[in-house]
A and B are shown apart, each in its own frame.
Chain A
Amino acid sequence: MNDPVVAKRPAGSGDTGAVRGVAAAPTATEAPIPPTPEASETQTKVHVRPGDRIFRGLATGSGVFIVAIIGAIGLFLILQAIPSLGLDNVNFLTSREWNTTDPANLRFGILDLLLVTVVVALLALLIAMPIAMGIALFLTQYAPRKLARPFAYVVDLLAAVPSIVFGLWGLFVLGPVLFPVSTWLIDNLGWIPIFAKGNVNVQLGGTVFTAGIVVAVMILPIITAVSREVFERTPTMHIEGAIALGATKWEVVRTTVLPFGKAGYISASMLGLGRALGETIAVAVILSTATSSFGFSLFDGGSTFASKIALAAPEFNDARSAGAYIAAGLVLFVLTFVVNAIARSIVAGHKEYE
């Protein structure tokens, strides 16, 4: 990608030599020169080509379509959930009870589901984010080219493994291996609440701990793949410049690759978090449900929103009971909403991208 850029440079303005991402944010440093696409638009405004108009219409239409679809899903969830929420005999947000057997006496609250969902997803993200960054950096910056390609391939392949396989792998293969680790943590660090002995049998491995690790493995490929693509695109000139200034390998990465790829990396992580929050079948297979409520230990069992819905969905036979689960789905929906809003504001705060 160097050649055309270099060839063109004299014609362009000297200080827009940055990437598009930077240029897109009209920060003070670049105030004099308006962002380029808009600039070109004003130039061609005199005769807007029909092709342009059609293409723009298509693109805008697709955007509107997405907004409409989400609106429809949200509306659907709300419409289905409201009647059941009205019949709920306990507080929906603060109760840990979940009993929908008798449609005439619905008692459901989401506190436990919310906690388990968040803990599983955060644990997964906590494990996956640094590792994914490590792999992405390794594959793009550190690994010899011959090694990088096949390994990148293996990582991509993982995205192809269906979630039920991860579930079975977690249950049959990983669970038994984690048993000694869990026992050790409980015995030695049990005084820390998150490592306390939980409400399910550690030997079965149906704990938040196992589920979190498996979900971490599941979201690794998706975070890695996107981060890798972004890191790979760090302009060679930036890297060469840093090297020319005598930067060590790590300094090159820190000063060029990471700033360049940060937004992409966070975006990829959010993609991963979205998947972790909504992961259904694998969690349903691995996680044991418990009869006592979640006690903030990694060795507790429980249900996430998605696994709760999946475990009950085949037996939905009453709209009122089903509505309770849809209300839970609605909360998950809102949760994703909030997480994304926070992530967006973090990215925006870093000014690299909007």
Chain B
Amino acid sequence: MSTISADPQRLATPPTFQKVGAARRFKNGLATTLVWGAFLVAIIPLVWVLYTVVQRGFPVILDGDWWSKSLSGLLARQQGGGAYHAIYGTLVQGLVCGVISVPIGIMVAIYLVEYGGRSKLSRATTFMVDILTGVPSIVAALFVYTVWITYFGLGRSALAVSLALVLLMVPVVVRTTEEMLKIVPDELREASYALGIPKWKTIVKIVIPTALSGILTGIMLALARVMGETAPVLVLAAYAPFINFNLFEGPMASLPLLMVNERNNPTQAGFERIWGAAITLVLLITLFNLLATVISRALAPKTK
């Protein structure tokens, strides 16, 4: 009960056990309508997009070949083949990117929330993360191209793509993790310190697990964004219609790249491949989301 006293001036309402006035009831009704309305308005395009993807893509992915074959040696107008090469590329590039960005992103967020305080570096970092959020993917790609290929003289590869994706993924991870860490109640930290547990252990064992489900949501969102990213793959890894398992060398397909490529293909086969790739990507992300949910349920402290 004592909690509310923290900001008493906000509750400028009459005492309890009074009849709710008409104006308040009206406002309440209006707000409820608006919230429901917003939801209904939003759900239309959202479901519509998904419906378009499913309706056009679903028949394509029912074919077993889709999951096990590449498009190697097929003409633009020839039906058949699959997206195995692109699925592999998307997964590998996404995972490598995730493996690099998640630790960096979480550490940055921890620094900002737990260590940085109001120091200059902390402010600079916050600001830089904001900027990084706004770096268009194509600029990030051109940057990596210049450094990786022009300056270091390394070839184009899936790894270069992953590096560009890291630039896009880190800020999203930082921002969401930061928000989640901020709202972990201080009492938890204090209780831990009171028991003599070191700060780092408090962060790892108390703070992060408490915020874990939110952090995982953020990571999944970030991963979803980078796996659907087109510009870096376009600039940094050439498209290959065949399977390339080598992360460090040679052209490698990915689902967005496959889609951009097939847009040059005006035939029915191209149409099917575009939407097939789209739904495949959505399914992959769904799978990741499910995994994240399961993991966060298993790891989260029992609070509710």
**Which residues of A come within 8 Å of B, CB atoms?**
1-5, 8-9, 11-12, 14-24, 35-38, 40-41, 43-44, 49, 51-52, 54-56, 58-67, 69-70, 72-73, 76-77, 80, 130-135, 137-139, 141-143, 151, 153-166, 168-169, 173-174, 213, 217, 220-222, 224-226, 229-230, 233, 235, 237-238, 241-242, 244-251, 253-255, 259-260, 263-264, 267-268, 270-271, 273-275, 277-281, 305-306, 309-310, 313-314, 326, 329, 332-333, 335-337, 339-341, 343-344, 353-354
* Cβ contacts under 8 Å, B255 to chain A: 162
| Assembled-state Cα–Cα distance A16/B189 (Å) | 13
| Chain B 6-42 per-residue mask, 1 if CB under 8 angstroms from chain A, else 0 | 1100110111111010001101101110111111011
Cβ-neighbour of B176 out of A8, A164, A229, A335 (below 8 A): A229
A277-B134, A309-B139 given; A230·B183 CB < 8 A: yes
* Cβ contacts under 8 Å, B224 to chain A: 156, 159-160
Which B-chain residue is minimally distant from A16 (CB atoms)?
Answer: B186
| Assembled-state Cα–Cα distance A337/B127 (Å) | 8
* Cβ contacts under 8 Å, A255 to chain B: 10-11
A245-B16, A248-B20 given; A62·B186 CB < 8 A: no
**Which residues of B come within 8 Å of A, CB atoms?**
1-4, 6-7, 10-11, 13-18, 20, 24-25, 27-28, 30-32, 34-39, 41-43, 45-50, 52-53, 104, 107-108, 110-112, 114-118, 121-122, 124-140, 142-143, 146-147, 167, 170, 172, 174-176, 179-180, 182-191, 193-194, 198-201, 203-204, 210, 213-214, 217-218, 220-221, 224-225, 227-231, 234-235, 255-256, 259-260, 263, 274, 278, 281-282, 284-286, 289, 303-304
A336 touches B231 (CB 8 A): no
| Assembled-state Cα–Cα distance A277/B133 (Å) | 10
B134 touches A65 (CB 8 A): no
Looking at chain A's contact residues, the main secondary structure is helix
Which A-chain residue is minimally distant from B14 (CB atoms)?
Answer: A246
Closest 3 CB pairs of A and B: A134-B38, A336-B134, A162-B228
B228 touches A69 (CB 8 A): no
Cross-chain pairs A/B with CB under 8 angstroms, 24 sampled: A17-B2, A17-B3, A18-B6, A19-B183, A19-B186, A20-B184, A36-B189, A40-B199, A55-B199, A63-B116, A64-B125, A69-B128, A72-B147, A73-B139, A160-B284, A160-B285, A161-B53, A162-B281, A163-B229, A164-B230, A225-B217, A245-B13, A275-B225, A309-B138
A66 touches B125 (CB 8 A): yes
A77-B139, A154-B50, A250-B27 given; A245·B36 CB < 8 A: no
A52 touches B50 (CB 8 A): no
* Cβ contacts under 8 Å, B42 to chain A: 131-132, 134-135, 155, 220, 224
* Cβ contacts under 8 Å, B136 to chain A: 277-280, 305-306, 309, 329, 332
Tell me how far the C-beta of A244 lies from the nearest C-beta in chain B, rounded to whole angstroms: 7
B135 touches A326 (CB 8 A): no
| Assembled-state Cα–Cα distance A1/B11 (Å) | 24
* Cβ contacts under 8 Å, B7 to chain A: 18, 259
